[in-house]
Amino acid sequence: MTTHAAGQFPVVRPRRLRAHPLLREMVRETTLSVRDFILPLFVRPGQGIRREIPSMPGHHQLSVDTLVDEVAAAVEWGIRAFLLFGIPVHKDPVGDVALRDDGIIQQALRALRKEFADRVLLITDECFCEYTDHGHCGVLSERGGRLDVDNDATLPRLAEQCVSHARAGADVVAPSGMLDGMVQAIRGALDRAGFATLPILSYAVKYASAFYGPFRDAAESPPQFGDRGSHQMDPANTDEALREVALDLAEGADIIMVKPALAYLDIIRRVKDHFSVPVAAYNVSGEFAMIKAAAQKGWIDEKRVALEVLTSIKRAGADLIVTYFAREAARWLR
Ligand code: PBG
């Protein structure tokens, strides 16, 4: 297909389509909508808590009661999908509290389900890094004198976490630990527990990125030693992304996540072109913080820059965008 018109200047003048603001809008290829957004929220045990997250202005660690208020306010702005992260008070080496029926996410799910019924889509981040005292994404074992996440030993626990969240009211589970075989383990467990129609949004393509810095403050989940380089992807790779997606789809993933977004727009595009499946992109904490910080200094126009970034993520091929800008963007787009 040829994408350029035949002919030359002065017969052809691309500026004709840009001159009238209404026409310019009518030929716009990419439109952002509040329906594209998923708002991440952080919940911790307690009552009446609204603890500011310094590196993520406007975001707070919330208790279940204030979380319900926060979701109600977002729903007013038209936001319908939420990604929940739990911050337990007690952590241990294996993250047992993640699996408990009275765990923080389980409590949050029940409260939100009760309050909002089917008016919200509740997505749960499935990983252990927020629940382990060492901050790694699963149980550890020693190999060659080095402690590392034990992939296969973590799988059944991850599956158990997902089933527990499904029982508490999750609409979608989103495993984010980059474990090999995680989608297969979760799919099997959900099916056996009677949740065969509950979708999996897999963080299939997750890079070992420095852009997660503010999130780790927010979720109190920085690794206490080492890093996540043994399971998250090398930012230099792209073929590997397609391989990860192919595997997750074969294991039953329904939606594919690419993360981060901004420095990986080429990956979003490649995944979207290669597999005709819904793609989500995670506009991560560092991407949010950079814009907020520069805007606070008066160096950039926050609204224009944020909408430009969100548009670029959609234009690259993302159908859904997880973003800390969801509330602001909903307001700006109204
Ligand atoms: C893991 C998880 C992380 C993020 C989402 N899920 C942190 C990590 O991999 O270290 C980061 C999100 C962000 O930076 O906004 N549970």
pLDDT digits (tens, 9 = 90+) for 18-56: 999 999 999 999 999 999 999 999 999 999 999 999 999
pLDDT higher at 306 or 143: 306
Determine phi and psi for 291, rounding to 5 degrees: -70, -45
Quote the DSSP letter at residue 99: G
Q: Is 284 in the pocket of ligand 1 (CB under 6 A)?
A: yes
Mean pLDDT of the chain: 95
**What's CA 65's distance to the chain center, in Å?**
23
Q: Is 285 in the pocket of ligand 1 (CB under 6 A)?
A: yes
In a domain, 149, yes or no: yes
In a domain, 8, yes or no: no
Distance 23 CA to ligand 1 centre (A): 41
Domain CATH number, residue 80: 3.20.20.70
Longest dimension (CA), the chain: 72
In a domain, 177, yes or no: yes
Q: What is the sign, positive or negative, of the torsion defined by CA atoms of 323, 325, 331, 334?
A: negative
Cα-based angle 314, 315, 320 (whole degrees, multiple of 5): 15
What is the Cα–Cα distance from 245 to 3, expressed in whole angstroms? Answer: 29
In a domain, 3, yes or no: no
Check pLDDT > 60 for residue 301.
yes
In a domain, 210, yes or no: yes
Q: Is 272 a catalytic residue?
A: no
In a domain, 43, yes or no: yes
What is the Cα–Cα distance from 244 to 57, expressed in whole angstroms? Answer: 33
Distance 28 CA to ligand 1 centre (A): 33
Pick left, alpha or beta for residue 212 (phi over 0 → left; psi -120 to 50 → alpha; otherwise beta): alpha
The CA dihedral of 111, 75, 118, 196, to the nearest 10 degrees, is -90
What is the Cα–Cα distance from 11 to 43, expressed in whole angstroms? Answer: 60
Distance 86 CA to ligand 1 centre (A): 12
- Residue 31 has, within 13 A of its CA and on its CB side, a CA count of 10
Two tokens, residue 312: 């670029």
Check pLDDT > 80 for residue 127.
yes
Q: Is 176 in the pocket of ligand 1 (CB under 6 A)?
A: yes
| pLDDT class of 219 with cuts at 50, 70, 90 | confident
Q: Is 91 a catalytic residue?
A: no
Overall domain count for the chain? 1
In a domain, 2, yes or no: no
Domain carrying residue 235: 30-333
Two tokens, residue 331: 């307001």
Model confidence, pTM: 0.96
Q: Is 218 in the pocket of ligand 1 (CB under 6 A)?
A: no
Two tokens, residue 171: 């609409």
Residue 65: predicted pLDDT: 98
